[in-house]
Structure 1
Amino acid sequence: MRHSSFVLILFGILFLTACGSQAVEYEESTYSHFEDNKMIGNVWDVSTGRVEVDISEWEKRDRKGPNGTDEGYLYIAKVGEETTIKHEDGTEASIEDLKRGQKVLVTPPRGGSFEGTPEEIILLEMTYEEKYARLLSHVDGYNLVVMYEEGSTLPAELQESLYEEILDITDEEVVATWRPYDEEYVVDYKEELGIPEFPIMLVFDKEKLVYKTNDVEELYEFFEY
C-alpha cells in the first residue's frame, strides 16, 4: 500500500514538473521580436563624437519570460569619419540631428564589447506610442505627470502631497511621476501638447492626454467626477 502511494505521489510530481518545464519552454521573451543582426535602441545621450544608445530591449531579446529583467544596457557609439548617419528614408543626417529618445538602428551590432565605431546609424521613424511611452499610462487608470522646468522649485501643493490627495478622492487607479521638461528630447512636449507655462499637471490614459491644467483645484475636480 505504501509502495502504491509512493508511486502515485512520484508520478504527480513528475507530471507537474513536466508541465512546468513545458510552460517555461514555450514562454517567449517580451523582446523576442528583435533580430540579432539589427541592433535597435534609443539615444540616451549625445556629445562630441559620441552617442550613447540604450539597447536594453535588444540585449534581452533571448531572455525567457514576459517581462525580462530590470537591468539596462548602454552601447557607446564612437562616431568617426567612416560612420554614416542618415534618416530611414535615406536622406542624409548628422550627429546634431540625434535627440534623446530617438529610435536608431546601429550597424553592425555589438560584438563582445559595449562600445565601438559603427559603420552606420539610421534614425528610425517612431510611432505615437513610442514617442509618448514615458507619459502614457501603463495601468488601467491614469498617469499623472507633473512637468516642470529643470532647476525650478515646485510649490508645496505640487509635491508628493498632491498624489496623496488624488488617491483620497478617486476610485480610479492612478500613478504619478514628476518630470522636468527636456528641451533636447526627440519630442517637444511643450509645443505638441500646447503647454502655456510650467509647472503643469498632465493626465494621460493608455492612449492619449485626457486633461491638462496649471490649477490644482481644477485637477481635484477632474478626479472627483
Structure 2
Amino acid sequence: MAKLTKKQKEAHAKVDHNQAYSLKDASALVKEITNVNFDASIDIAVKLGVDPRKANQMVRGVVTLPHGTGKDVKVLALVTPDKEAEAKEAGADFVGLDEYLQKIKEGWTDVDVIITMPSVMGKLGPLGRILGPRGLMPNPKTGTVTMDVAKAVTEVKAGKIDFKVDKTGIIHAAIGKASFDADKIVDNAHEIIQTLVKMKPTAAKGTYIKSIYLSSTMSPSVGVDPKSV
C-alpha cells in the first residue's frame, strides 16, 4: 500500500470513519479536506439494496442538478443538416454527422455526451464497441436520442446527468466542484438521492439506500447518514 502524504494524513485525521455525518456537515467536511492545486470534482457514491443482475432491479435514469456539475460539458450533436442550426444555437460544441462518424471510427472520442436523432441511430450501431465502453452511446432513456435536439443540448449543458447502477449495486456520479459553496453541494446531492428514492424498483426488498459517501478527487470518503437526506 502506498504511503500517505502529509496532506493526506491530515485529511484522514479530520474524518471520523465510524460516523455517518449529516449531508450538510459532510458537504462542508469534504470541501475542508480537499487539498489539491486544481478545482477537484465532488463525487457521490450511493450503495443500493438491489441486484443489478436482475432486469427488474436495474436502476438507471437522469437528473438535472440545480447548480450543474461545474464542468464544461463537451457535447457532440450527430444530426441531419436541417437540425444543425438549432444544435449550434443551443450550445453544442461539435455539430455534424458523417464527418464525425468517420472520426469516431478512427478512434476520436473527445466529448462528454453525444446527442442524436432516432433516424441516425442506425448509423451509430456499428460504433457501439467504441462508444459503449466509454459511456457515450446515446440512449432514448437518458434523453440523448430525441427529435428535440436543442432541448437535449441545453439540458446537458445546464447540468443534466445520467446514472446507472454498477454491478456492485453502487451509483457513482459527479455532483459539483470543490469551489462550490457547501450549500450547492447539498442541493445537488439531495436532488440525485431523492431521484433515486423515487426510482426504487418494486422488486427490491429490505433497505434500499444502504450507504452514501461523498468524496473529492484524491480525498478520503465521508459517510453520510441516509436519514439526513
Provide the TM-score with structure 2 as the length reference: 0.23
Structure number, greater radius of gyration: 1
Q: Report which of the two has the higher share of strand.
A: 1
Structure number with the bigger relative contact order (C-alpha 8 A, sep ≥ 6) is 2
Considering fraction of residues, name the structure with more helix: 2
